[in-house]
């Protein structure tokens, strides 16, 4: 059970980091857009990466402290549902973009959520 939490949180953290690394290139790929739009895209790209890292770290921390507590279980369930929500958003928006990481996002987030939720339910 505990290994599922670590696998799910590790995958979430790695995917969050993978959002942060190419931020400048992703923004540049939008071409000639206004300075405000560049800032908005940069902000949103960073926010998603940081959010994923925070979710992963939170799952890791509660697992290290006490994976069997009611609070930990609540964190696992809320985080798993949140990741599934992000996966749905990615499926209906980013999946339509011709850029491989956008197409991978729904699958990676769903796998992370499944690992975490299965760990919480067994």
Res. 118 pLDDT band, cuts 50 70 90: very high
Taking the CA of residue 71 as centre, how many other CA atoms within 13 Å lie in the half-sphere pointing to its CB? 7
DSSP 97: S
The residues near 83 (Cβ < 8 Å, ≥ 6 apart) are 12, 55, 109, 110, 112, 113, 116
pLDDT tens-digit readout, 61-117: 999 999 999 999 999 999 999 999 999 999 998 878 887 878 899 999 999 999 999
Q: pLDDT, tens digit, for every residue of 31-43?
A: 999 999 999 999 9
At 46, the pLDDT band (50, 70, 90 cuts) reads very high
Q: How confident is the model at residue 3 (pLDDT cuts 50, 70, 90)?
A: very high
């Amino acid at each position: 059970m505990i290994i599922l939490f670590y696998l799910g949180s590790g995958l979430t953290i790695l995917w969050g980091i993978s959002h942060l690394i190419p931020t400048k290139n992703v923004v540049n790929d939008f071409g000639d857009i206004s300075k405000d739009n560049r800032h908005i895209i940069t902000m949103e790209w960073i926010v998603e990466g940081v959010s994923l890292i925070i979710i992963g770290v939170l799952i890791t921390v509660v697992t290290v402290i006490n994976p069997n507590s009611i609070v930990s279980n609540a964190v696992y369930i809320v985080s798993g549902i949140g990741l599934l929500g992000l996966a749905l958003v990615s499926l209906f928006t980013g999946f339509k973009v011709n850029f491989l990481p956008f197409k991978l996002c729904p699958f990676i987030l769903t796998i992370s959520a499944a690992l975490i939720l299965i760990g919480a339910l067994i």
